[in-house]
Amino acid sequence: MYETVFRKIEAISSSLKEIDPHMADVFRNCYPNTLQTTVELLDDGTSFVITGDIPAMWLRDSSAQIRPYMEMANEDADLRRLIRGVIHRQAKFLLLDSYANAFNKEANGQGHTGDLPPKGPSVWERKYELDSLCYPVQLCAHYWRTTGDRSVFNEDVRLMFKQIVDTMLIEQHHDRQSGYSFQRFQCPPSDTLPFEGKGTRTNFTGMVWSGFRPSDDACKYGYLIPANMFAVVILRDLGQLALDMYGDSALSESALNLAVQIEFGIETYGKVQHPEFGTIYAYETDGYGNYNLMDDANVPSLLSIPYLGYRPADDAVYRNTRAFVLSPANPSYYSGTHGRGVGSPHTPPGHIWPIGLIMQGLTSVDPQEQEALIRTLIATTADTDYMHESFHPDDPGTFTREWFAWANSLFGEFIVRWVSGRTAAGQSLPV
């Protein structure tokens, strides 16, 4: 299966081996890791994709894990079957509960227990994360653009699109209209929401409220700027797909209007004047004038703005924001003898995330910066030749999550883009 993927692995590995055999080895391990260890094709035609060492399917991770293979889907029937199956499984999950972030393969009650309100038996965890509504739409749009396959757009997908828009419209007015709450007990504050599970107060801005970040940590302020940027991008895609695939002009108009409102909110309420870096995007705000200036390695992040498609890499505010994110002014930026980069409050203090380093490379316009990041990544695997969730930059042998497929897939995507970019520019690979 997936012969096109393995042909690409052989071609790129052959090129890399002449420059750095270790680079080739890490790529050969990481790029197919999702396909080899986390994917299950089910009898109902859907696909179930676990994160790695956690036996549940996150809407975010499952989309991100298979994204690097998308460019080959038009040539590979096995990939098309896999991706169609993920889209249809995500649609079933979102129609079951549009506020949950992770699901079980079956209604077996596995996952976090004791949370209030109680989750359903098919739900692993019910943390509402705005990006969980965005990733499935991005996957649909990428699949359509790559393959032109209309067959994936069944009635469940249309209903998923509608549910996504309806949920976002409610969460524009979280304090007044939403029935969502989340409480977990005997846990760190980052694992629950304050004020009886409703979160800190927000004022209407046009943006959409999120309870939790893509790290699964609670938001300090409810308007998570990178997730709202992601929402703007996918709502435009959703609007086009609703019209082209279903002829649903009402849904299309609703999605496109919502995108305009969210973008207005971001540009009006989501920027601050930093004394060192100038105008930058905040990570979170509440619409009352409070801002959280930081970034987290998990995507969507401020660093990932060009990767999301919200603004190009040469956008002035993005450049300022990037400079802030990649500096000690960002409380999640760490340095050590083996590397420096963005981490996350989700993992121990001082730890760098490979996803953060990879995203720095994917959004860089400097080939030398990209190469340096790749060399840092392959030198900090603790001799496993796989990416981890995080590692300590003074001791890469101290890491979290030995089996984290999202990071492996993303590293593979970075390598493919790096090699392709240099080839397109007529440059030889570095010696």
In a domain, 149, yes or no: yes
- The mean pLDDT value of the chain amounts to 97
Whole-number pLDDT of residue 431: 28
Note the pLDDT tens digit of each residue in 349-371. 999 999 999 999 999 999 999 99
Nearest of 337, 206, 214 to residue 267 by alpha carbon: 206
Confidence of residue 420 (pLDDT cuts 50, 70, 90): confident
Query: CA dihedral defined by 111, 117, 122, 127, rounded to 10 degrees?
Result: -70
Cross-strand pairs, 285: 223, 291
Give the DSSP H/E element, type plus range, for residue 295: none
Asked whether residue 108 is domain-assigned, the answer is: yes
Q: Residue 12: give its domain's CATH number.
A: 1.50.10.10
Instruction: Please check the confidence at residue 184 and state whether its pLDDT lies above 80.
Output: yes
pLDDT at residue 427 in the model: 45
Give the tens place of pLDDT for each residue, 302-331: 999 999 999 999 999 999 999 999 999 999
What is the rounded average pLDDT of the residues 194-216? 98
In which domain, by residue range, is 74 found?
A: 3-424
- SS3 of the chain: the string is CCHHHHHHHHHHHHHHHHHCHHHHHHHHHHCCHHHHHCEEECCCCCEEECCECCCCEEHHHHHHHHHHHHHHHHHCHHHHHHHHHHHHHHHHHHHHCCCCCEECCCCCCCCCCCCECCCCCCEEECCCCHHHHHHHHHHHHHHHHHHCCHHHCCHHHHHHHHHHHHHHHHHCCHHHHCCCCCECCCCCHHHCCHHHHCCCCCCCCCCCCCCECCCCCECCCCEEHHHHHHHHHHHHHHHHHHHHHHCCHHHHHHHHHHHHHHHHHHHHHCEEEECCCEEEECCEECCCCCEECCCCCCCCCCCCHHHHCCCCCCCHHHHHHHHHHCCCCCCCEEEECCEEEECCCCCCCCCECHHHHHHHHHCCCCHHHHHHHHHHHHHCCCCCCCCCCEEECCEEEEEECCCEHHHHHHHHHHHHHHHHHHHHCCCCCCC
Q: What angle do CA 52, 53, 58 make, to 5 degrees?
A: 55
What's the pLDDT score for residue 424?
Answer: 44
The stretch 412-427 carries a mean pLDDT of 75
Structure token digits, residue 10: 């052989």
pLDDT digits (tens, 9 = 90+) for 217-261: 999 999 999 999 999 999 999 999 999 999 999 999 999 999 999
Domain for residue 429, yes or no?
Answer: no
Mean pLDDT of 120-130: 99
With 70 as the cut, is the pLDDT of residue 393 above it?
Answer: yes
Residue 431 in domain: no
CA distance 227 to 238: 16
User: What's the mean pLDDT in 172-194?
Assistant: 98
Q: How many domains does the chain have?
A: 1
User: What are the tens digits of pLDDT across the range 48-94?
Assistant: 999 999 999 999 999 999 999 999 999 999 999 999 999 999 999 99
Q: What are the tens digits of pLDDT across the range 6-44?
A: 999 999 999 899 889 999 999 999 999 999 999 999 999
**Residue 410 lies inside a defined structural domain of this protein:** yes
As a whole number of angstroms, the distance between CA 409 and CA 412 comes to: 5
| Whether pLDDT at 124 is above 70 | yes
HSE of 300 in the Cβ direction (CA atoms, 13 Å)?
Answer: 28
Q: Assign 401 a pLDDT band (cuts: 50, 70, 90).
A: very high
pLDDT of residue 18: 85
99 occurs within a structural domain: yes
- Does residue 346 lie in a domain region? yes
The verdict on residue 394 lying in a domain is yes
